[in-house]
Each structure stands twice: as structure tokens, then as C-alpha cells.
Structure 1
Amino acid sequence: MEHLINNRVKNIEISGIRKFFNMVAHVEDMISLTIGQPDFQTPEHVKEAGKQAIDLNFTTYTHNAGLIELRQAAADFYKKKYHIEYSAEHETIITVGASEAIDITFRTILDEGCEVILPGPVYPGYEPIIKLCGATPIYADIRNTDFRMTAELIESLITEKTRCIVLPYPSNPTGVSLTEPELQEIANLLIDKDIFVLADEIYSELVYEQQHVSIAQFLKEKTIVINGLSKSHSMTGWRIGMLFAPEYLTKHILKVHQYNVTCATSISQMAALEALTNGVDDALPMKDEYAIRRDYVFKRLQSMGLEVIKPEGAFYFFIKIPAINITSFDFCMDLVNEAKLAVVPGSAFSEFGEGYFRLSYAYSMDTLKEGLDRLEGYLLSIK
């Protein structure tokens, strides 16, 4: 009966990140620097709010868009942090993680045959959904612009079929984040064009030397902003995302969300309310620790002679593989077999990631030190 399965589903692949992680998970004595899972625990006061919600039997459906108190807290969060005002009632939707927010956005704005421009390399969660919508992903090769999406690159790829530009910054896998002038230039390009922007800002609270800037500051009427609590509050398993957009968009996105999941989990929403009120700055100590780890890893990688850009946000390095005739997948498998170290092949992040590998520093300093020692030993062995 498999021949009856939707061809679009059959033609997409499991995430290359997860595929590689699953392949090596069974290897004994493995150091894994693969997954973007914060090694901090969910803050205690947030966990207590979730426990209290269970004890109070808050186990019913909520408004499809989420508790109004939580939507207000989310809107207040964006106003305080990033200086953008959204209506809690009409322009804010609480989703089941940022992943669901991406899904319902694309399913709302994409038609058969239209195109979506996105940077390459990029997080692999966009392309499959674009294809499931019958649309076509168009990659901007950002390898020669220090992994920065530019107005010039976007302009060169715009056609009459272009429906959306994806701006995922700070970036997974590169750690790059766009500056205010760069975003202003992109906004100026798009201001008179009927093209949406999907701004995936899930790492917005993990930006180091500079302040995170959202393109919605300049292009609010065309932008769907996606964020969540997975990275900022180490709440990956709670599955709470936030979607902000003008009412003319959210009233349609909400329909897809309603028939998709009804609403985000009530218990998680109560924990999220605590996170966005009493825990509004919970990410700050985590960010400080990530910055220390980033600087340590950067120095180690430089000392190994590896070509790498210092991340401005998130918690990843995207590292060029030394000049040896090998694919990123084979390089990473050899690293597993010879050094018991797991990283992610760059090919998991589109064809434009080939020749690189991603290393996550969302791990303890002890784990990072051991992992980098193994990487250094491996590189010396293949010289």
C-alpha cells in the first residue's frame, strides 16, 4: 500500500541533523557535539508554575491562539526586548514550538508553484515544509558573504513567483546575526514588493556583543516573526512557540493552527506565562556562559588552523573541513570511527553546507574540552 502515500511526503527526508545523531548514538564512549539542546535545566520557578497548573487541574483546552494572559506577556516581551508592538488579541498566536509556527505560516501563505528564497546553508526545517506546500525553495549562496544574507543576493533571485524570504537570524548553523543596517537594506528592497518575510528569531536572546534587531521594526506589515522559549529558557520539551504578524495574516494563520493542533498544551502555557513575566531575563546568565564557551571553542579551533567565523549568536560553529578529498558526511563518520566524536555534516544544511561541519557548544566545558581534544588529535592524525 506504500504506493498510495503522498509523493511529496515520500520525497522529503528526515532531518540530516537527527539522522546523523541517531546513527552514532549507540557508539560507546562517544562525545556528541551535535544537538542544539541547552545543557541548562528549565528554571525552577518555571517548572513550579507547570507543576502548580497540574495540581490545579488546569488541563483543559485554551483559546486556540493561547491564553490571553500569555499572549499579552509575549507581546510585552517583544515590546520590551525588541521595540515592536503587537496586539495580544489580534496579532499574537501561541504555537506548539517554533516548528509548528513555521509550518502553519508556510501553509497559509504559499500556493502551488510559488518560490521561497532562503539562505544556504540553513537549518533543514524549512525546505521540507515548502515542498509539502507545492512551492520551491530557492537558495541564496551565502558562502562568499561570510554567511550573511544580503539585499543584493535576494534581489538577484527574486522572480514573479517569489512569495517569501526566510531570514533565520541568529543563524543555525553558522551563528551569524544580521545588523540593523543590513536588515534596513533588505527592508528597503522589499518595501514595494508583494513578498512576505518569515523572520525566525528563536535565538534572539542569545546574541552576544550586539543587540538583536528584528526586520519587523522596518517591515512589520509583511513580516511573520517566529520565536519561542526552547533556547531562551531551556524549554525544548515544553514545546511553546510564539508567532507575531499583522491581523490580516494571523486571522488566516489561526485557522490552520486550529485545525492542526487546536491549541498549545495548557500546562506548558502556564509555565510559559511564568517564563515571560517573572523570568523575562532568565536567558541572560545562560548567554553569559555560552559566550565563555564560544570564546574557548573559537580559540581552540583557531589553534588547530581551522577556517571558521566567530558566531555572533546562537550556540554553533560552522567549520570548513580541511582541504582533503572527502565529503562532509564521510569526514564526520571518520571522526566518529577514529576519534569517537560526533558533529553534524554540513550537507545536512543544504548542498551549500557541503565541505563544512557544525559543532554545537551547548555543552559543558568539560565535554567541550574533551571533544576538542579528540578533534585536534584526529586532525593531527590525518595530516
Structure 2
Amino acid sequence: MTEQTPPAGDVDAAGRLVYATRVGGLTHLVGALRGVLGADIGLMDPEGSVLAASPVKTFWDPELVASARSGRHPAGTELLVRAIELEGTSVALLVARIREDRHHLLDVAADLAAIELSRLLAAQQGRRELAAELIADVLSGSLSEADAAGRLRVVGVDPEVPFRVLLGWTNSEEPASKRLRMDSIFALMGDQQAPFLRVHVGRNVLMIVPDDVAVERLANNLYRQLKELGETAGLGVSRPHTGGSGLRAAYYEALAATQSGDGVQHPGQLDFPRLLALANTALPLEVIAHQQLQPLIDYDRTHNSELLHTLRTYLALDRDTAATCEALFIHRNTLRYRLKHITEQLRVDIESTAATTSLWLSFLVSAPDDPRAVEPPRLTRRAAAEHPNEGDGPRD
């Protein structure tokens, strides 16, 4: 876009800056400032990334800008830097390649930029509050799957593409919503939707991000921001999910992960009773139960084995080794071999009360109408003798 010119008639330099900001935002402000100062102008974020410049291809060295901002001017450099602040926080830098600003036009431009960013931020906050309401509707479990998917599309989340939930907290006395309000200045300048949905659920920060290689980097970045707000902070990362019920499952997975301590935490093997205790709305139990058992489902599908049925039978018979071997018609060594693999796949101690409670609840929820979930088939020794090819025999 080219810089728009004001109506005919002379206007002072400050008036030109005001007009440029009103009709074209920060990009036009940068162009107008170059016109009134007769110098190269740059707008940068605090990390040194150029957001706008006039001329467009002007190179700005972040280290030189940082030096000039602190009052140090290396030989041969002429830079003036003004911080653009919102609520006492520096959010951008306005840089001019000049030695002095006699008429304080750089200060005027910095104030105009702050006003414009405040306006854009207010609009962004309005969109975010709407998104938070829509996400709350999905998390409540009161919507059909189709309606939940529709809500997600409205806020820019494709319900058919796997996503993860990042849920963060901090011990700051001030809610994170008052401090972590702004997405990238670049997106804000373009009045664009942020690349990743971020809303506030109570005092926690919730982000929905794609399930790709950037998940860990995004999680660590959000954790770092939260850590800067308080002495301690934590962040839970969910497993990948799709759809409305998937968002609810992901939220509770991430919430359960945050209970593991400070830092970035992953859910690992879910603690079903803990999830039930944490929830104050209806949980997507079938989705969570399926996630609990997924490692065994995948292993059985790949190896044509029966680890899932073995575990279900073992738990249904109160972990009675003899009864389980009789019901499945397998040798004790075979059962021991299978239980070892089950432990490895689930990464839990299947002899612990907490683990067996979670797993048993998962079986009951995932197959409520399957009698084998509660009462496994019992193949007697006599029947086994009549069907010698059943079972997989002993293993060493």
C-alpha cells in the first residue's frame, strides 16, 4: 500500500502523523514519520524483529538498536530509539536513523503508536472473550458433537485436524489474563486472528495448537512467559485429539498433567480417578478411556496378540494368576510374559492400586455392554482338552 496524503492544505508535521495513523495504521505512521524527519524509520518488536520499515528493505541491526536504546552509541552510528509502552510494558520499539529530534516528533509518533496498539488490543480482547465463551460451551459437555465442531470452526480450530491443548498456570497474585493479553505485534498490526487460539479459563491460560513438531517449542515459550509472572509456574500438554469431545478430553488431560508439578508436564498414563476428582463438568469418559488403553490396542493390532483381553481378564478376576490362566487356557509363564509386555506398553505398575483402578474404570467405560469387561470367559481344563489348539502355550 502507498501512503495516503491528507487533503489539500498545509498541515503541520504532527498533524500528518495523526492523519497517517488514522487512515493507515502503524505502517502508514512509519512512512509519514520518515517524510517529516527525512530519515530511515523502523518499527521493531522487543526481540528485534522488524514489523515495519521505511524504506521497506532498510536493514536494522538489533544489537545496535539495543545499544542505542540503552544510551550507548557505537562510533559511526546515529540512532534514536523510543519504546512503545502499553500499561507500563514495552511492546515495541520505534527507531529513527537520526542524531537528534528537536521537535520531539519521534515521541509523538511513539505515543500515536501506543494509542493505535491499544485500540487493536481492545478489538483483539473482544474476539478472545468471544472465543473463551465458545470454548467454555464446548468444555461444558452440553453441546452435540456437531455443534461443538461448529464452535471450534468459529474460533479458527479445524475439528478434523489433530490438535493439542496447552494449559498453564502461575502463582502470580495477578491473573495471567491481565498480563498475557497480547499475541504477536505483527498479527495485531494486521488486525489478524492469532495463529494459535489462546483463551483464559479461570486463572489458567489455555492454548489450542496443531499436533506437529512445534508443540514442545510452543509449550516451552508459554511456560517461560508464565514463569516471568510468578515464582512458580506449570504447564500441561495433552495428547493429540480431534473434535469437540476430543477438546474436552485434551483439556482434562492437560489439567491432570499440571498436577504433576512445576515445569512442562505431559499426561503419561492418565490417572482416571484424579481426572474424575478434578472435573466439575461431565467428562468425555469414552474418549479418555480409549486413550488409556490405546497402547495395548495398537500393540495387539500390530502383533496379532491379546494383551488387551489378557489384562481385562486379569483385572476381572482380581489379579488371580491361577484363575486367569484357567480362563485364558495359558501357562503361568505365558501370563507372566504378557503381563510384562502390558507393563512395558502402558508404562505403569499394573499391580498398584492406583493403576488397576484407572485401568478397570477404562474397561468399564469403553465397553459397558461387553460382558467380558466384567465377567471374562472361563475355559475349563476339560474344555481346553477338547480344544487343544486354543491359547498360545507356555513361553519361557
The TM-score bracket by the shorter chain reads under 0.3
Bigger relative contact order (CA 8 A; separation at least 6): 1
TM score, norm. by length of structure 2: 0.27
User: Larger radius of gyration, structure 1 or 2?
Assistant: 2
TM score, norm. by length of structure 1: 0.27
